[in-house]
Structure 1
Amino acid sequence: MCDKIKQSWSRSEAMTVMETWLQAFEQIDAIVAENDEMALGAREAVKASDKNIPAIGVDGITDALNAVENDDLVASIFQDGAGQGSKAVEVLVNAIKGEKVEDNYWIDFEEVNKDNVAEFKKRAQ
């Protein structure tokens, strides 16, 4: 790991940070961003340089799906908002009924890659 930064989930800020890192570090092997906006911003900076650094984001937003399809992102990790919402309602109803609820629940993430991006684009419509 070259560096890490906490930022405001912004594409433009990620681009600026990546521009700085491209100057500061001789070798960057990959970009792993906590959301798609930051991954896309970092990739914009990379595309403006002479380097090819693969990037992965999280959320599965439309721009990221297009970027995966066009080989600008290696992958995005889809967060199932509908699944999260329905589980939250289920837990709330159980709590209201006085049933035991767990402290934590796991909602599966799904990798969006070149092989399945068309399926995710259909789901997003």
Structure 2
Amino acid sequence: MAKIMVVDDTAFMRHMLKSILTENGHEVVAEASNGAEAVVNYKHSRPDLVTMDITMPEIDGIEGLRQIMEFDPKAKVIMCSAMGQQAMVLEAIKNGAKDFIVKPFQNERVIEAVNKVLSL
């Protein structure tokens, strides 16, 4: 069972991801609604994995990812994006993201990405 932090500015999306993850045996140890919160919560909860939305207020997912990777170069982060954000996904991969999932979420794809990244 992995400890996971879910980061998304939409409560509904966090709830959806949390349900998928907990139904598959993982524990959601922290949540955040923007990149700034994500960095603080990461340092506090030290999750095994982070799911990070790209488009968020205050600090977006790319900058949140950068700051987490700076703090912990071994961090495992999966980016979440809507269709049509390929350029941002590539930017995230360059900055250390291990994988990405596209919204709307498909349970199988979420779990496949999580399991793949946890095994790295």
Superposition TM-score tier, normalisation by shorter sequence: 0.3 to 0.5
What TM-score comes out, normalization by structure 2 length?
0.44
User: Which of the two has higher C-alpha Rg?
Assistant: 1
What TM-score comes out, normalization by structure 1 length?
0.42
